[in-house]
Structure formats: structure tokens, C-alpha cells
């Protein structure tokens, strides 16, 4: 089983925050600890947060810019279904999934990895704005095929109601930077 950090833990919040926030917290912890314990222990006590700031900085420096993501999404929107689906299939395989194409209207791929089944819907990736109905169809297909998780791929916008529905029904949205990474060539 893969270990996952709780999304609201201090470390997870700091990893999502700008790297300099973690660095400032490191300095503050060091300063407070330095008042009550020797220098070496204070440095050791602030070390975990300092490591988090390094990891956050590394991730943020490697992340593509908003301009690159927007350009990649434009390229994806201009593709035909065949080319787009082939790119996604290749991306899922790169991530270690066994991919089965489905001919169903509600879902396009069934992914399997370590005995875990995921259903993916992506035919409406070009839609400028998506509502709840395709998500309901995906959820129903996921229940029928006993999928542990459902993914909905989109390059456009999702209505607030649809976002709420996805959150309530554990449908993961693949959009923006994640979609650009998944659909990259090679």
C-alpha cells in the first residue's frame, strides 16, 4: 500500500504553499527554539520544516508556467478525438496503468493498476463548459463496472454545480497542469 500524507496535515499545507512560507516558518521555529535550547538542537528541531521548504521550492521551480499550460491546453483542444485519446492512453500507460478502451458513451477507458480499477471519461474534453450530466453518467458507469475511482478529463470549464457533484461523489477532475502533463508526448 502506498503511503499518503493527509491533505490537511501541516506538511501537506506547507508543500502546497509558496516555498518561502516554509522557509520563514523554519526561521521562526529556529529563533524560538534558540531562546530555550542550544544552537545545535534548535537547528535540528527546525530541520523538518526546512526540508519541506526545499521540496516545495524544487516542485515549484519544476512546475510549468501558466503560459505553458495554457498553450498545451490550446494544442489539446485543437486535436481530433483519435489523436487526443491516443495521447491519453500513452500517458496512462506511462503512469503504470493497464488501459482498456471502452465503447461506452459514459466512459472511454478502464484503467487497472495494482488491482485497483478506474473509469475515465474524456470524450467531451473540448467542451467550453461542462455541467453535471456527464459526471452523473460517469458515476453510474463506475458503479456498474465496480470501479474504485472515476476520472473526468476536461480542457474547458466545469460549472460550480458540477464541481460540487464531483467532490461529493469522489470523481477526480483531470484538468489544467495535470492534463497537460498526462497528455505530453514521449
pLDDT confidence tier of residue 54, bands split at 50, 70 and 90? very high
User: For 67-182, CATH number?
Assistant: 3.40.1350.10
* Domain limits, the chain: 10-62, 67-182
Q: pTM of the full predicted structure?
A: 0.68
pLDDT confidence tier of residue 170, bands split at 50, 70 and 90? confident
Task: Please say if the pLDDT value at position 3 is more than 70.
Answer: no
**Long-range contacts at 161-169 (CB < 8 A, ≥ 24 apart):** 161/131, 161/132, 162/130, 162/131, 162/132, 162/135, 165/132, 165/135, 165/136, 166/135, 169/135, 169/139
pLDDT confidence tier of residue 35, bands split at 50, 70 and 90? very high
Window from 17-21, 29-33, 54-58, 115-119 with minimum mean pLDDT: 115-119
Amino acid at each position: 500500500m502506498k503511503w499518503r500524507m493527509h491533505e490537511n496535515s501541516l506538511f501537506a499545507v506547507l508543500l502546497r504553499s509558496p516555498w518561502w512560507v516554509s522557509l520563514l516558518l523554519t526561521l521562526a521555529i529556529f529563533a524560538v527554539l534558540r531562546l530555550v535550547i542550544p544552537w545545535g538542537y534548535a537547528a535540528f528541531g527546525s530541520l523538518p520544516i526546512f526540508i519541506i521548504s526545499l521540496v516545495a521550492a524544487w516542485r515549484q521551480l519544476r512546475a510549468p508556467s501558466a503560459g505553458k499550460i495554457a498553450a498545451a491546453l490550446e494544442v489539446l483542444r485543437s486535436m481530433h478525438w483519435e489523436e487526443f485519446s491516443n495521447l491519453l492512453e500513452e500517458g496512462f500507460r506511462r503512469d503504470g496503468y493497464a488501459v482498456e478502451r471502452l465503447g461506452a458513451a459514459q466512459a472511454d477507458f478502464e484503467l487497472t493498476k495494482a488491482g485497483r480499477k478506474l473509469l475515465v471519461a474524456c470524450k467531451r474534453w473540448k467542451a467550453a463548459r461542462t455541467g453535471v450530466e456527464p459526471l452523473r453518467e460517469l458515476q453510474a458507469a463506475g458503479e456498474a463496472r465496480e470501479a474504485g475511482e472515476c476520472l473526468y478529463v476536461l480542457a474547458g470549464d466545469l460549472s460550480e454545480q458540477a464541481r460540487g457533484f464531483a467532490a461529493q461523489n469522489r470523481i477526480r477532475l483531470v484538468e489544467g497542469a495535470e492534463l497537460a502533463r498526462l497528455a505530453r508526448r514521449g
